[in-house]
Chains A and B, each alone.
Chain A
Amino acid sequence: MKFEKKSDGVYALDCCGYVCPHPQLYTKKAMEKMKTGDLLELVFDNPSSGESIAAMCDALGNEVVEKTGQSGKYTWKIRKAAA
């Protein structure tokens, strides 16, 4: 797992190789620590984690602004909403 700051307000989280519940737990923790308006670039390759992450974002109002996926690898960009 890699979590790093790319620039001001932009963070990258790589959960490739991890099975449930790690990608969704790390995504949740990353989003909790970020500020409103910050962007998270998330990479993961466990399809079922995507279902949980999407539902989690929907429930909290965080916007998944971009979703790409190829050959089982998914790259999502999630913007943190106001609490």
Chain B
Amino acid sequence: MNETANNNPRWAFFIIGFLTLLTLVTYSINEYYIYLAAYLWFGFVYGMCLQYGRFCFSSAFRDLFAVGVPRMAVGIMIAMVLFGTVSAFVTATGNSTFHPAPYGIHSVIAGFIFGVGMVLTGGCASGSLYKAGEGNVTAMLVILSISVSQAVFVDIGGWANDWVPYSWHQSAVAKGLPAAINAGDGWMDQYLAGYVWNQPVLLFSQWLGIREPFAAAYVGDVLVGIVLPAAALLIVVYFIWYRKGYLRKRAEAGLPVSGPGVEAVGYWSMIIASKRTAIAGLALGIAAGLHMYVMKGLQLKFGVNNFGTLMKEMGITSGLSAKGTVFDPGYWYVTTQEAQWVGWVFNKLGWDNMDNIYFGLENGIPNPLINPADWMSLALIGGAAVMALLHNEFKWKGTNRELAMWAIIGGTLMGIGSRLGLGCNVGAFFVRVSQGDVSGWMFGGGMVVGAYVGVKFFNWWTERKMAREMAAFAL
């Protein structure tokens, strides 16, 4: 074994040791920090699962269109079914922290913009985090780009106000928000308060009119909202992208190639084709469901709805929103904490960015060192790094001009798309679909179309580069 491989386990244990020490030290300062630790360790588990399963939402749609591989499409559906099933118990017992998002055409447009971006960058929001944990500098640039674009986009006013329909402006001003927020100024403020907040919210269980909590959660939201659409989508995936190769292999082996039994076996073989991905999907889904349960449990234990209240009790008020809150979703989320850490840097550099809804009214800009959601993402990177190190897959990979260009452009689109959709592939798609929120599938539909466009572009781009390489020889 060479020296690098010898050192890998040491680095892995260093990361685990650091996060463990952090947990113990913060708990010894104040027991409220167990709340932050819960986010941290679930983030760590997410990171390990993502890296182990090469779990990437961008891959789900992109690799279907680009190279005909359904691996991640299957993985996501497995994860969503598991997440939905586990968290349905939390919901049915009245302990969910989840709130459905307003749905409308904006959900689809946001998903489209995000979908194009995530193909250009090479990974979704969570995928870029785990790839950063593998030592991928381009992925780190993507994270930076998503963070900066969001922090700018949520506060942009001036010329951007010219792009706001007057009806949005009127509606935003009429909401009676605190004067310090100035909801009538800023593109994002008027988009949120003047348009998005006026749109309806809907769970599948509500659409079906199911009232009894357990039936609503399991039949309405899980069965109708997740299982049936996921199974149907995978049937489409099977017939378009998997069946031909599967029947070819059966024919080569002299096995029957027609009949419903053959197709059913083929469908199942597609589901279990990648054990890694299936295991990662299972683990992610269960962990995400347990995460909701644990956060709700801690909220009940401490008698709070938001970490901001605990911060105040610890005497920390810097960075709290006007409502006394900080970003505290109670489940896996990726993009807002990325906007927050850059927003905090901008704020320290003198930018007044607390006069908007996103930071000033809802999420605050706490110090990143005590921002629970930030630690969830940092530990996600750490968990991915540990998994990569233990399997000798960690490698520092620098970037180049071409990849940096895609990282910045794609990351910017992902940042904008996530704010328009109020979340990314995790927050606006994975979580919402798993909780029976109709807006989840709408964002997902937009992502699929966006990914298709992104792949078309990259097909053209890589064909050009290939032609240049082949100019020197005939093929």
| Residues on A facing B (Cβ under 8 Å) | 1-5, 11, 16-22, 24-26, 28-30, 33-34, 45-48, 50-53, 55-56, 58-61, 70-73
Q: Return chain B residues, CB-CB under 8 Å to A30.
A: 466
Closest B residue, CB atoms, query A1: B465
A71→B2 contact, CB < 8 A: yes
B470→A3 contact, CB < 8 A: yes
Closest B residue, CB atoms, query A13: B469
Interface residues of B, dominant DSSP: helix
A21 and B122 contact, Cβ closer than 8 Å, known pairs A2-B469, A59-B245, A70-B392: yes
Residues of B in contact, count (CB < 8 Å): 57
A72→B135 contact, CB < 8 A: yes
Q: Which of A3, A56, A71 contacts B469 (CB 8 A)?
A: A3
Q: Decide if B353 is an interface residue (CB 8 Å cutoff).
A: no
Q: Decide if B400 is an interface residue (CB 8 Å cutoff).
A: yes
Instruction: Please give the distance in Å from B278's CB to the nearest CB on chain A.
Output: 12
A33→B475 contact, CB < 8 A: yes
* Residues of chain B from 414 to 432 with CB closer than 8 A to chain A in the complex: none
Q: Decide if B398 is an interface residue (CB 8 Å cutoff).
A: yes
Taken together as a complex, chains A and B put the C-alpha atoms of A47 and B388 apart, in Å, by 10
Closest A residue, CB atoms, query B136: A19
Q: Decide if B347 is an interface residue (CB 8 Å cutoff).
A: no
Q: Which of B68, B131, B473 contacts A19 (CB 8 A)?
A: B131
Closest 9 CB pairs of A and B: A72-B395, A59-B245, A19-B122, A48-B54, A3-B469, A55-B69, A5-B473, A20-B122, A25-B462
A3 and B466 contact, Cβ closer than 8 Å, known pairs A20-B58, A25-B459, A28-B66: yes
A71 and B458 contact, Cβ closer than 8 Å, known pairs A24-B63, A28-B66, A56-B68: no
A26 and B466 contact, Cβ closer than 8 Å, known pairs A21-B455, A72-B394, A73-B395: yes
Q: Return chain A residues, CB-CB under 8 Å to B127.
A: 48
Q: Which of B252, B274, B394 contacts A55 (CB 8 A)?
A: B274
Q: Return chain B residues, CB-CB under 8 Å to A3.
A: 466, 469-470
A1 and B276 contact, Cβ closer than 8 Å, known pairs A20-B122, A24-B67, A47-B134: no
A29→B245 contact, CB < 8 A: no
Instruction: Please give the distance in Å from B146's CB to the nearest CB on chain A.
Output: 15
Total CB contacts across the A-B interface at under 8 A: 131
Taken together as a complex, chains A and B put the C-alpha atoms of A22 and B399 apart, in Å, by 13
Q: Which of B277, B395, B475 contacts A51 (CB 8 A)?
A: B277
Q: Which of B244, B245, B394, B403 contacts A18 (CB 8 A)?
A: B403
Q: Which of A4, A19, A28 contacts B139 (CB 8 A)?
A: A19
A71 and B392 contact, Cβ closer than 8 Å, known pairs A17-B403, A19-B139: yes
Q: Decide if B248 is an interface residue (CB 8 Å cutoff).
A: yes
30 pairs, A vs B, C-beta closer than 8 Å: A1-B465, A4-B473, A17-B399, A19-B121, A19-B122, A19-B136, A19-B403, A20-B58, A20-B63, A20-B123, A21-B62, A21-B66, A21-B67, A22-B122, A24-B66, A25-B66, A26-B466, A30-B466, A34-B475, A45-B395, A47-B134, A48-B127, A52-B71, A55-B71, A55-B273, A55-B274, A61-B249, A70-B5, A71-B5, A71-B392
Taken together as a complex, chains A and B put the C-alpha atoms of A20 and B122 apart, in Å, by 5
Taken together as a complex, chains A and B put the C-alpha atoms of A25 and B131 apart, in Å, by 19
Closest A residue, CB atoms, query B66: A21
Q: Return chain A residues, CB-CB under 8 Å to B273.
A: 55
A52→B463 contact, CB < 8 A: no
A19 and B69 contact, Cβ closer than 8 Å, known pairs A61-B248, A71-B392, A72-B394: no
Q: Return chain B residues, CB-CB under 8 Å to A5.
A: 473, 475
Instruction: Please give the distance in Å from A31's CB to the nearest CB on chain B.
Output: 10
The proximity string for B residues 127-160 relative to A, scoring 1 for CB distances below 8 Å and 0 otherwise, is 1000100111011000000000000000000000
Q: Decide if B472 is an interface residue (CB 8 Å cutoff).
A: yes
Taken together as a complex, chains A and B put the C-alpha atoms of A1 and B58 apart, in Å, by 22
Taken together as a complex, chains A and B put the C-alpha atoms of A40 and B470 apart, in Å, by 14
Taken together as a complex, chains A and B put the C-alpha atoms of A2 and B465 apart, in Å, by 10
Closest B residue, CB atoms, query A58: B245
Instruction: Please give the distance in Å from A1's CB to the nearest CB on chain B.
Output: 6
Closest A residue, CB atoms, query B241: A59
Closest A residue, CB atoms, query B54: A48
Taken together as a complex, chains A and B put the C-alpha atoms of A70 and B123 apart, in Å, by 23
Q: Return chain A residues, CB-CB under 8 Å to B244.
A: 59
B122→A59 contact, CB < 8 A: no
